[in-house]
Structure 1
């Protein structure tokens, strides 16, 4: 598998591939993710590479890039800006900061197809992209709430963990969770509806940082002895298994007995192991490898002038202790 670089180094390499010679005959389809440090996006990279087996004979190549870390929102904006300057056939973006990405697209007014993958632009900016490829994020949030309700039917005191405050996909999940638990659309925070209350310290914003996510969880558990559950709208704490194991050590017996519940998005390998070890109660997984593949193929179709569906959902998988061995079809 190719080694991909971030930022200026990646774009310098891209400039060479788009230059003169044989490489000039290959049209670049750029997949820009929030951060190369997130194992979730490694799977989107794999989907991009799978697509290349079909794209390359047709004269296209899926090129995977992004900032070194998802915390560097400005770097992602700069990468998109630079790609538009260098010249590519299409771009798929997972916006870390949706308004900032929309701003650069409006400013540059690109003539090439722009799509979003994994995360979308805000509703008022969706006219800037030709399609969205990824999860029905609201439905993911709803399913997390449903998994929580199965285990705590009478409600409880809970804490939601989110990523970047401006990440539209994560915010959609949180909205789905709150609406499902409250029974009312448009719930901004749970304040006792149907027995559910978000503690004052939450939601937590991890900024997609596993170390920060684990520290925030630990601090919250320590400071709130009456907390009953976490809803992780992204699986950030579980991406660092050793740290996560230390965080939940004081409540591991409560998790195992169902007295404390943790439900999380995503079904990456460390999360599935945590599930099998009864360190988390349920997972609702996206399909990032398929997402990367579909994003690449959608870009190619648009570059060829073909029509595509404006929204392409890639599905969800629900996993718990009972079906951990089979829920991903393996």
Structure 2
């Protein structure tokens, strides 16, 4: 599902969507934070489902805490939804253990699925399926792109999100395993030439302003850095700040002495790629997640067997093949 459909062509459709029935049963999608533009694409998918299903006895409700840093707030929202008697919930857990603990306490039998981010493996009995990216594979793709540009390896910094976010940690593991050629690597210490610099990884708590400040600090502290890996796209979600940060190292980016590989392909990010402010983008498909989630929840409510996991695919843009990033 392209961004042009997911963002622009939808405007008129969503605006014209019929009002929800007063007694509609709720299929809730709860994301980590409403301040993250990635999740707004999930919202647009949810709204498209509503527009495509007029008169349904079910509504798709998109919600989450105002800030992606509010892990407790997300747990409280799920708590409130369960108390209100929602039909089913799709959750992108910011703090996977905390969310799982609450679900186990309150609603172990409620139709629960995860979307975008999963529970930890030990808690996956609490949900029926996961819909979203194969996050380990996403990390693998990032490492493959880095290896194309730096076949001898080099010094690297990984930028992560929340410490307890299962999806982000899976990407980091995929990157480290692929870069090193070994499984279960906790930190790159010279394997295949890759070494994580002191002070990294850095954790953004899903905050764009913090992400950009961290990038600037890492560039200053490590003038010979070979690679910076945005495991998620946080810094690029604030394009003006990201441009200012990358202006500091544009000569190195142009010469590929320093490479930047980033997650996601939102419009500001594909623009950054076209402007030479990243060398590769590995994108997810959040609109598809939001569009498919209500139908999956309906399947669960009907007692149907649902495949687990349900992967939504990846879009890779690089210097040899701009692909998706060329005109989105």
Match of 2:7 in 1: none
Counterpart in 1 of 2:5? Answer: none
Q: Runs in 1 of length 4+ with deviation above 4 angstroms? A: 325-330
1:328, distance to aligned residue in structure 2 (A): 7.6
- Tell whether the 8 Å contact from 1:182 to 1:193 is kept in structure 2 after alignment: yes
> What is the correspondence of 1:249-260 to structure 2 with a 5 Å cutoff?
249-260=247-258
* Equivalence for 1:198: 196
Query: What 5-or-longer segments of structure 2 have no aligned partner?
Result: 1-10, 13-19
Question: Which residue does 1:267 correspond to in 2?
Answer: 265
**TM-score when normalising by structure 1:** 0.91
What's the counterpart of residue 170 of structure 2? 172
Is 1:137–1:170's contact at 8 Å kept on the other side of the alignment? yes
Give the alignment partner of residue 300 of structure 2, picking from 299, 302, 305: 302
SS in 2 for 1:58: coil
- Over 3 Å counting, the alpha-carbon distance change for 1:108 and 1:207 in structure 2 is same
Distance, in Å, in 2 between the alignment partners of 1:53 and 1:243 is: 36
| Partner residue of 1:28 out of 26, 29, 32 | 26
* C-alpha deviation, 1:57, in angstroms: 3.3
Q: Structure 1 CA distance, aligned partners of 2:188 and 2:121?
A: 24
User: Which region of structure 1 is more displaced relative to structure 2, 223-232 or 280-289?
Assistant: 223-232
**Normalization by structure 2: what TM-score?**
0.92
- 1:38-53 aligned within 5 A: 38-53=36-51
CA deviation map 1:102-121 (0-9, x unaligned): 01001113432000000000
Distance 1:110 1:195 in 2: 46
Query: Per-residue deviation at 1:49?
Result: 1.0
How many corresponding residue pairs?
Answer: 311
Structure 1 CA distance, aligned partners of 2:252 and 2:224? Answer: 12
Q: Name 2:110's counterpart in structure 1.
A: 112
User: Do the aligned partners of 1:276 and 1:321 also contact (CA within 8 Å) in 2?
Assistant: no
Unaligned runs of 5+ in 1: 3-16
- The Cα RMSD (Å) is 1.6
Cα separation, 2, equivalents of 1:221 and 1:210: 17
Q: Which residue of 1 aligns with 2:64?
A: 66
Report SS of the residue matched to 2:170.
helix
How many angstroms apart in 1 are the aligned matches of 2:275 and 2:327?
19
How big is the shift at 1:95? 0.2
Asked if the contact 2:161/2:206 (under 8 Å) is kept, the reply is yes
Partner of 2:100: 102
